[in-house]
């Protein structure tokens, strides 16, 4: 993408309404713009990051055997009356009346709707197991929306729903998602740990939150530091034993947010030199709730014994839009955002220090073409801004690697490579620089 043709409205000043680093940086770097309280537009750069996260989440859901569907944002109130949650949900649910005075709502979650879909077409245990996910906008009418998209009202979420015949099988579906989540966050370039969680309004007997560690996180986290060193689950994880072993491996160390923290257990169970206190951001939440929805909604199948059996269910959420903010909270410095490579809006920027200079332009075009052809997301800063302003913007928006092309370097036969995270620079000939950049970003 040529920056001269792009839409990148960066702000030089820190917006007064934004208190957290991610909120400030998302506004400054032109990722989002507020349209109403807690409701945002995703500008081109933000949309790119959001789509990259969405795609990684999707791929890991599919790898774990979940199947993608897409449920609507607007739901009928009647469905929620069946489960008993319509009145229980309170004012956070955005309730709507249509032109025929029918009661609708903007879905905050989809347990009822997906249960309705499955009960209407799944009649036999032979059609199980089943795990359906979708990635769709949700609405939660927060009384005081804040921190930008981190606690906004309209937000993008991946939610998956598992259906099994037995409680044991259902628990394995839960474990499978548990492992998929660890893989997902790892691929996103984030350090996330699972902690036991309250089940809240979703309900159930088993629940974990996944917390991305970030100094500026909203929750205090207490854990055994060795948890952070564990590699994510590998391989197919088809056998129940493998799944259980992986979950056991990641839940055997103490880990809790302040809500569930037990100071005595922490001190007793965790060796002093492994006791770790940190801050973090919830980015995923999984629930195993058995027949909580299938019972009131009569979602059953015929079992192998010929008897009607209520479906065993779990649900599994990832805050896709929230992850954009969490990644920034976890990765930024005084100059701006430091994206993990996997979700950076562009992986590389080619920077012309003297637009209009024929030799500089030729070198820039060559680098740009080669990187684009290699499938590297490349931004080409071909604008007439001064070099200082260019670097300030590219550091603010967090492009991981720059190739800087100027007349002085070219006279010596070199261009400069700059890495955003480390600040490291190297000078190389153009061809070697392109090869080196591809090596750095793994392309």
What residues contact residue 334 under an 8 Å CB cut-off, 6+ apart? Answer: none
What residues contact residue 145 under an 8 Å CB cut-off, 6+ apart? Answer: 37, 38, 151, 152, 153
The reply on whether position 132 binds a second copy by CB under 8 A is yes
C-beta of 412: minimal distance to a second copy in Å? 33
Burial status of residue 126 (CB atoms within 10 A of its CB: 0-12, 13-18, 19 or more): exposed
Binding part of the chain for a second copy, among 71-79, 183-191, 275-283, 303-311 by CB under 8 A, reads 71-79
8 Å CB contact between 177 and 316 = yes
Residue 81 structure tokens: 């009356």
The reply on whether position 86 binds a second copy by CB under 8 A is no
The reply on whether position 202 binds a second copy by CB under 8 A is no
Burial status of residue 121 (CB atoms within 10 A of its CB: 0-12, 13-18, 19 or more): exposed
The reply on whether position 5 binds a second copy by CB under 8 A is yes
8 Å CB contact between 68 and 59 = no
335 vs 395: CA distance, rounded Å: 6
The reply on whether position 57 binds a second copy by CB under 8 A is no
| Binding-site size, a second copy (CB under 8 A) | 55
8 Å CB contact between 57 and 320 = yes
The reply on whether position 43 binds a second copy by CB under 8 A is yes
434 vs 443: CA distance, rounded Å: 11
8 Å CB contact between 285 and 317 = yes
C-beta of 214: minimal distance to a second copy in Å? 24
State which of residues 81, 84, 104, 191 lies at the interface with a second copy (CB under 8 A): 104
8 Å CB contact between 72 and 105 = no
Burial status of residue 423 (CB atoms within 10 A of its CB: 0-12, 13-18, 19 or more): exposed
139/178 with CB nearer a second copy: 139
72/413 with CB nearer a second copy: 72
C-beta of 162: minimal distance to a second copy in Å? 12
Site string for a second copy, 137-156 (x = CB under 8 A): x-x-x-x---------xx--
143/358 with CB nearer a second copy: 143
Binding positions for a second copy, 107-126, rule CB under 8 A: 113, 116-117, 120-122
Q: Which residue is it, tokens 């005081």? A: 144
Binding part of the chain for a second copy, among 132-140, 252-260, 323-331, 332-340 by CB under 8 A, reads 132-140
C-beta of 160: minimal distance to a second copy in Å? 13
C-beta of 25: minimal distance to a second copy in Å? 17
The reply on whether position 173 binds a second copy by CB under 8 A is no
104 vs 32: CA distance, rounded Å: 29
7/422 with CB nearer a second copy: 7
State which of residues 12, 16, 70, 273 lies at the interface with a second copy (CB under 8 A): 70
Compute how many other C-beta atoms are within 10 angstroms of the C-beta atom of residue 91: 9
55 vs 49: CA distance, rounded Å: 10
Smallest CA-to-CA distance from 156 within 76, 77, 42, 79 is with 42
1 vs 349: CA distance, rounded Å: 9
The reply on whether position 169 binds a second copy by CB under 8 A is no
Alpha-carbon distances of 410 from 355, 370, 393, rounded to whole Å: 14, 18, 23
Binding part of the chain for a second copy, among 30-38, 251-259, 281-289, 372-380 by CB under 8 A, reads 30-38
State which of residues 15, 44, 189, 225 lies at the interface with a second copy (CB under 8 A): 44
The reply on whether position 50 binds a second copy by CB under 8 A is yes
The reply on whether position 102 binds a second copy by CB under 8 A is yes
The reply on whether position 377 binds a second copy by CB under 8 A is no
List residues binding a second copy (CB under 8 A).
5-7, 9, 30, 33, 35-37, 39-44, 46-48, 50, 65, 67-76, 79, 91-92, 94, 96, 98-99, 102, 104, 106, 113, 116-117, 120-122, 130, 132, 134, 137, 139, 141, 143, 153-154
């Amino acid at each position: 993408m040529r920056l001269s043709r792009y839409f990148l409205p960066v702000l030089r000043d820190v917006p007064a309404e934004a208190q957290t680093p991610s909120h400030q940086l998302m506004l400054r770097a032109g990722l989002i713009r507020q349209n109403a309280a807690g409701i945002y537009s995703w500008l081109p750069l933000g949309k790119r990051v959001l789509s990259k996260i969405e795609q990684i989440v999707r791929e890991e859901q599919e790898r774990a055997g979940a199947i993608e569907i897409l449920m609507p944002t607007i739901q009928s109130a009647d469905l929620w009356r069946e489960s008993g949650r319509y009145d229980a949900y309170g004012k956070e649910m955005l309730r709507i009346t249509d032109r025929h005075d029918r009661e609708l709502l903007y879905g905050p979650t989809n347990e009822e709707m997906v249960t309705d879909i499955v009960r209407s077409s799944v009649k036999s245990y032979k059609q199980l197991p089943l795990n359906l996910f979708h990635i769709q906008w949700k609405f939660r009418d927060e009384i005081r929306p804040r921190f930008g998209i981190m606690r906004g009202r309209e937000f993008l979420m991946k939610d998956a729903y598992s259906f099994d015949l037995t409680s044991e099988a259902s628990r394995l579906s839960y474990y499978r998602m548990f492992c998929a989540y660890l893989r997902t966050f790892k691929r996103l370039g984030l350090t996330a740990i699972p902690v036991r969680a309250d089940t809240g309004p979703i309900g159930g007997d088993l629940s974990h939150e996944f917390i991305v560690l970030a100094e500026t996180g909203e929750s205090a986290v207490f854990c055994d530091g060795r948890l952070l060193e564990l590699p994510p689950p590998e391989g197919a994880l088809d056998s129940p034993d493998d799944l259980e072993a992986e979950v056991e491996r990641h839940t055997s160390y103490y880990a809790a947010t302040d809500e569930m923290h037990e100071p005595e257990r922490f001190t007793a169970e965790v060796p002093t030199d492994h006791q770790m206190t940190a801050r973090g951001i919830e980015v995923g939440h999984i629930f195993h709730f058995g027949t909580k929805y299938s019972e009131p909604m009569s979602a059953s199948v015929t079992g192998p014994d010929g008897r009607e059996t209520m479906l065993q269910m779990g649900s599994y959420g990832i805050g896709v839009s929230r992850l954009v903010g969490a990644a920034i909270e976890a990765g930024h410095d005084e100059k701006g955002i430091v994206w993990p490579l996997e979700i950076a809006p562009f992986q590389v920027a080619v920077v012309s220090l003297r637009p209009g200079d024929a030799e500089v332009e030729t070198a820039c075009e060559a680098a740009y073409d080669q990187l684009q052809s290699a499938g590297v997301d490349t931004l080409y800063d071909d604008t007439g801004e001064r070099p200082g302003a260019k670097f300030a913007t590219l550091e603010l928006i967090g492009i991981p690697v720059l190739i800087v092309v100027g007349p002085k370097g070219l006279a010596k036969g070199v261009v400069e490579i700059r890495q955003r995270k480390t600040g490291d620079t190297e000078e190389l000939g153009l061809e070697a620089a392109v090869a080196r950049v591809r090596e750095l970003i793994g392309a």
